[in-house]
Amino acid sequence: MNDKFKTFKECTKLREVKSLMKLKHKNIIKLLEVILIKGQLSLVFEFMDQNLFDWYKITKENGKKIDESVIRHVIYSVISALAHMHKHGYFHRDLKPENIMICKGNNVRLCDFGLAREIRSRPPYTDYVSTRWYRAPEILLKSTVYNSPVDIFAIGCIMAELYL
Amino acid sequence: MMKNYDIIKEVGRGAFSIVNKAVNKKKNKIVAIK
């Protein structure tokens, strides 16, 4: 029984598993393996070098501007992934640069799926989350009927950020 | 199952998970484990 309870407790993550198994796309992170040992769930993903946030921070610290063709490529990749998700009835809800992985050759993958609704009020991940928002106005205003357009709002914010 | 993987280092922390870089010993392939 104990084990069952533990599995149930992991259900938000299982939702992540479920969506990732359905969503196969070149710009969506590949889930390679799911391991459950003694109620402990581990998800094995393909490895990506960096998330978009670290990547552009480094670029900007070097005093470089991000090339427009690169921005276009990154945004196009994310939007293709989103289009695929939305078409299959999922939306991300937590789109931000940390959840967009990038590796050499500018391969872009969307990751971190299936965050449960109540996780919107995030744990004290400090000033970062509280100062930078990718959340659409309807979520900020605590609407309960928001939907996939919130992802589009977020990608708009991210695109603007890359241009800065 | 986890015996197949060697953890290399922690690479990130999410709201409710830690992401580790690991290597699949059988396939000699780098992966991320959440």
Mind listing the pLDDT tens digit for each residue in A138-148?
A: 777 777 777 77
Q: Do B31 and A47 touch (CB under 8 A)?
A: yes
**What CATH code is carried by the domain that includes residue A138?**
1.10.510.10
Mind listing the pLDDT tens digit for each residue in A46-98?
A: 999 888 888 888 888 888 888 899 999 999 999 999 999 888 888 888 888 88
Q: How many alpha carbons lie under 13 Å from residue A98 in its C-beta half-sphere?
A: 14
Phi then psi for residue A67, to 5 deg, are -60, 140
* Residue A75 counted as domain residue: yes
- Average pLDDT rounded to a whole number, residues B7-21: 83
pTM, to two decimals: 0.79
On the question of pLDDT at A37 being above 70, the answer is yes
Domain carrying residue A79: 47-163
The pLDDT confidence band at residue A137, using thresholds 50, 70 and 90, is confident
- Please name the residues in contact with B31: beta carbons below 8 A apart, sequence gap of 6 or more: A32, A44, A45, A46, A47, B5, B21, B22, B23, B24
Q: How many alpha carbons lie under 13 Å from residue A96 in its C-beta half-sphere?
A: 18
The pLDDT confidence band at residue B14, using thresholds 50, 70 and 90, is low
Total number of domains constituting chain A: 1
* Residue A149 counted as domain residue: yes
Task: From chain A, pick out residues whose CB is under 8 angstroms from the CB of B1.
Answer: 33, 35, 37
Catalytic: which of A54, A94, A127, A151? A94
Angle at the Cα of B11 (from A75 to A33), degrees rounded to 5?
Answer: 80
